[in-house]
A = this chain, B = another copy of it.
């Protein structure tokens, strides 16, 4: 089977035009935006051209189906509010090229998946979580983005494309190629990462409510200032988590909304995101306990009322051994000594799909480890190496059960 590297790179660059940000190779293509829907329609047409049957489900997950049972490959084409051209897009376009080349070669049968809202405008890997049955659609519909738009409202943008569910039993397994999004491959001068396991994640929104008041007339010792409570929580949390985490554990406060948010007003309320990740379920729970305990203490000390959103989360998952072996063998032949096995600190659709069928992931390097930013990039030589390693592994991947 011969993959076509030029055709693959051209598709990637064509896809980049949907939501091209004007900053480097940056892309603004969040789930259900005009650019996102247009990109999915374009990809559906490319699938059709490749001899696959394009099918959208009720939430905008797009499948390009090969006839009969097949291996499923893919990722997602939605982006972060400010994303790069490869995050997700690489896995979809690589799957398209492999499926197309496989059709041209007369087999093996490969289908393509392009999941919706992997970047979590509404939740965590929303589209594949719904497809895999882990997030009921009725519950997903009640999720809201940071602007207060509901998932149900947002997915109406794709209602004209919506079709029936795609049966997971059609597929023998799932393989996803993705950029690493971290610095390790790039710094080691390596070009392929075979993923051993994907960390688990916990994510919630926390609200602390104190007392809104005048920033000139309210003495410091009488304030119930929501920003001060947040800052005190963050400081205490950093201290306490250090005792229970590993160097691979991460935690992030990435969204903060102060109310009312004026220079001259002591902020009475803060709503903020708290997300943490680790490869070990027990440690995720221990981190949660520290977070909740610290919040309760700080809220009491600062006179805050405390409330929590539902906690969204995905468990750590181990990648399928036969798939890992197939990818590793292919990498060792193509780039001997220049690949490694590694954990994924980023969450991926493979986490959800692994609940349904054997699943695996392969990484290519991110220059400087930059991701979820306009500056995200990968050398095209490395993209091509990824394509060839995956194509070489295809017979073994398609045969594995």
Chain A positions near chain B (C-beta within 8 angstroms): 80-82, 119-120, 146, 180-183, 199, 201, 203, 211-222, 225, 227-228, 230-232, 234-235, 238, 247-256, 258, 260-268, 273, 275, 277, 344-347, 369-373
Contact = CB atoms under 8 A, between A and B. Distances in A.
Contacts of A211: 370, 373
Contacts of A214: 181-182, 345-346, 371-372
Contacts of A234: 227-228, 231
A225 B250 CA distance: 12
A213 B372 contact: yes
B182 A217 contact: yes
Contacts of A215: 250, 252, 254, 275, 277, 372
Given A183-B218, A213-B372, A252-B265, 17 more contacts: A119-B264, A120-B262, A120-B263, A215-B250, A216-B277, A216-B346, A219-B247, A222-B369, A227-B234, A230-B231, A231-B231, A235-B235, A254-B266, A255-B258, A255-B263, A264-B347, A268-B373
A261 B250 contact: no
A221 to B, nearest CB: 8
Which applies to chain A's interface (DSSP): helix, strand, loop or mixed? loop
Contacts of A80: 260, 262, 264-265
Identify the interface centre among A182, A215, A217: most chain B CB within 10 Å of its CB: A217
25 contacts: A81-B262, A120-B263, A146-B261, A182-B217, A182-B219, A183-B218, A183-B222, A218-B250, A218-B369, A219-B248, A220-B247, A220-B249, A220-B250, A227-B254, A230-B231, A235-B235, A254-B265, A254-B266, A254-B267, A255-B261, A256-B256, A264-B347, A264-B372, A265-B372, A266-B372
B346 A217 contact: yes
A369 B255 contact: no
Given A262-B80, A264-B80, A217 B256 contact: no
Contacts of A231: 230-231, 234-235
A146 B369 contact: no
Contacts of A344: 216-217
B254 A182 contact: no
Identify the interface centre among A214, A255, A265, A372: most chain B CB within 10 Å of its CB: A214
Nearest to A265: B372
Nearest to A212: B373
B247 A266 contact: no
B216 A262 contact: no
A231 B238 CA distance: 11
A264 B275 contact: yes
A239 to B, nearest CB: 11
Contacts of A81: 260-262, 265
A243 to B, nearest CB: 14
A262 B255 contact: yes
A256 B261 contact: yes
Contact of A216 (B199, B212, B216, B225): B199
Nearest to A30: B262
Contacts of A250: 215-216, 218-220
Contacts of A216: 181, 199, 201, 250, 277, 344-347
Contacts of A262: 80-81, 120, 146, 254-255, 273, 372
Closest 6 CB pairs of A and B: A182-B217, A215-B252, A216-B346, A214-B371, A263-B273, A181-B217
